[in-house]
Chains A and B, each alone.
Chain A
Amino acid sequence: MKRYRSLLHRSSFMSAPHFDKYDAAPRQLAHTFSYVTPILLARIGLLLGFGWCLRAAADPSLNATYNMTRGVTELSHKVYNLHMTIFYICCAIGVIVFSLMFWTIIHHRKTRGKTPAQFHGSLKIEIIWTAIPVLILIAMAIPASKTLIAMEDTSRADMTVLITGSQWKWHYKYLEYPIEFYSLLATPRDQIENTSAKTELYLREVDKPLVLPTGKKIRFLVTAEDVIHSWWVPAFAIKKDANPGFINETWAKIDEPGTYHGQCAELCGKDHAFMPIVVEVKPPEDFDAWVNEQIALMERTKAEEAARGEMTMDELLALGQKTYESRCAVCHQTTGVGLPGAFPALKGSAMVTTDKAAHIHIVLFGKSGTAMQAFGKQLSASELAAVITYERNAWGNNTGELVQVNEINQMLSGELQ
Chain B
Amino acid sequence: MKIIGVSHQPLLRKLVLICLGMFLFGFALVPLYDVFCDLTGLNGKTANTAAAPSTSIDEQRLIKIEFVANHDDSIPWRFAPEIPSIEVNPGAVNIVNFNVKNLTGNAMVGRAVPSVSPGAAARYFKKIECFCFVEQPLDAYGEKSMPVQFYVVPQLPAEYSTITLSYRLYKSQAQTAGR
Q: Tally chain B residues at the interface, Cβ within 8 Å.
A: 32
Are A245 and B113 also in contact (CB < 8 A) when A155-B160, A155-B162, A175-B66 are?
A: yes
A416 at the interface (CB under 8 A from B): yes
* Residues A373 and B73 in contact, CB atoms below 8 Å apart: yes
Complex CA distance for A367 and B20, rounded to whole angstroms: 41
Partner-contacting stretch, out of B1-9, B91-99, B164-172: B164-172
Residues B66 and A160 in contact, CB atoms below 8 Å apart = yes
The CA of A376 and the CA of B75, in the complex, are separated in Å by 12
Shortest beta-carbon distance, A106 to chain B, in Å?
Answer: 48
B44 close to A247 (CB less than 8 A):
yes
B115 engages A245 (CB within 8 Å): yes
Provide the residues of chain A in CB contact with B136, threshold 8 Å. Answer: none
Judge if B88 is at the interface, Cβ distance under 8 Å: no
Residues of B within 8 A of A122 (CB): none
Partner of A413, one of B85, B103, B115: B103
* Contact partners of B115 in chain A: CB under 8 A: 223, 245-247
Are B117 and A369 closer than 8 Å at their CB atoms? Answer: no
Inter-chain contact A247/B68, CB cutoff 8 Å: yes
B68 touches A162 (CB 8 A): yes
Q: Could you tell me if B84 and A364 are in contact, using CB atoms closer than 8 angstroms?
A: no
**Is B56 positioned at the interface, with any CB of A under 8 Å from its CB?**
no
Instruction: Say yes or no: B162 contacts A157, CB within 8 Å.
Output: yes
Q: A372-388, CB under 8 A of B: which get 1 and which 0? A: 01101000000000000
Contact between A164 and B171, CB atoms less than 8 A apart: no
**Neighbour of B76 across the interface among A162, A247, A364, CB < 8 A:** A364
Q: Is the CB of B104 within 8 A of A414?
A: yes
A-side contacts of B160, CB under 8 Å: 155
Out of A223, A245, A248, A361, name the residue touching B104 (CB < 8 Å): A361
Residues from chain B with Cβ under 8 Å of A246 in the complex = 43-44, 115
| C-alpha gap A247/B76 in the complex (Å) | 21
Among A156, A164, A247, A413, the one with the most B-chain Cβ atoms within 10 Å of its Cβ is: A247
Question: Considering the chains assembled together, what is the distance between the CA atoms of A221 and B66 in angstroms?
Answer: 11
Complexed CA–CA distance, A365 and B70 (Å) = 14
- Chain B residues with CB under 8 Å of A411's CB are 103
Q: Are B141 and A247 in contact (CB under 8 A)?
A: no
- A368 vs B74: C-alpha distance when bound (angstroms): 5
CB distance from A388 to the nearest CB of B (A): 16
CA distance A86 to B76 in the complex (A): 50
Q: Mark A383-417, 1 if CB is under 8 A from B, else 0.
A: 00000000000000000000000000001111111
A249 and B70: CB pair below 8 A?
A: no
Within the assembled complex, what's the spacing in Å between the Cα atoms of A366 and B73?
A: 6
Complex CA–CA separation, A156 to B44 (angstroms): 19
Structural contact, B117 and A248, CB atoms closer than 8 A: yes
| Alpha-carbon distance between A414 and B141 when the two chains are bound, in angstroms | 5
| B78 interfacial contact with A, CB 8 Å | yes
CA distance A376 to B74 in the complex (A): 12
Residues of A within 8 A of B43 (CB): 246
Verify if A325 is at the interface (C-beta below 8 Å from B).
no
CA–CA, A154 and B44, complex, Å: 15
Of residues 150 through 179 on chain B, the ones whose CB sits less than 8 Å from some CB of chain A are: 159-162, 164, 166, 168, 171
A223, B76: Cβ atoms closer than 8 Å: no
In Å, the complex CA distance between A287 and B73 comes to: 32
A374 touches B76 (CB 8 A): yes
A253 proximal to B (CB < 8 A): no
A374 nearest CB neighbor, chain B only:
B73
**Interface flag for A225 (CB, 8 Å):** yes
Chain A 219-249 interface residues, beta-carbon cutoff 8 Å to B:
219, 221, 223, 225-226, 244-249
In Å, the complex CA distance between A253 and B101 comes to 38
Partner of B171, one of A361, A368, A373, A374: A368
Tell me the smallest distance from the CB of B160 to a CB of chain A, in Å: 6
Interface string of B103-119 (1 = CB under 8 A from A): 11100000001011110
Residues in A whose Cβ lies below 8 Å from that of B161: 155-156
Query: Closest Cβ of chain B: how far from A324's Cβ, in Å?
Result: 20
Task: List residues of chain A with CB within 8 A of the CB of B117.
Answer: 221, 247-249
Nearest Cβ on chain A to B109's Cβ, whole angstroms:
13
For residue A286, give the distance in angstroms from its CB to the closest CB of chain B. Answer: 25
Given contacts A221-B166, A247-B68, A366-B73, 19 further A-B contacts (CB under 8 A): A154-B118, A155-B160, A156-B161, A164-B70, A175-B66, A175-B68, A175-B84, A223-B115, A223-B166, A226-B73, A244-B168, A245-B113, A246-B115, A247-B166, A365-B103, A366-B76, A412-B103, A414-B102, A417-B105
Q: Which residues of A contact B (CB under 8 A)?
A: 153-157, 160, 162, 164, 175, 219, 221, 223, 225-226, 244-249, 361, 364-366, 368-369, 373-374, 376, 411-417
Instruction: Identify 18 residue pairs between A and B in the complex whose beta-carbon atoms are under 8 Å apart, listed by A's number.
Output: A155-B159, A155-B162, A156-B162, A175-B84, A225-B73, A245-B113, A245-B168, A246-B43, A247-B116, A247-B117, A249-B117, A249-B118, A361-B104, A365-B73, A365-B103, A366-B74, A368-B72, A414-B103
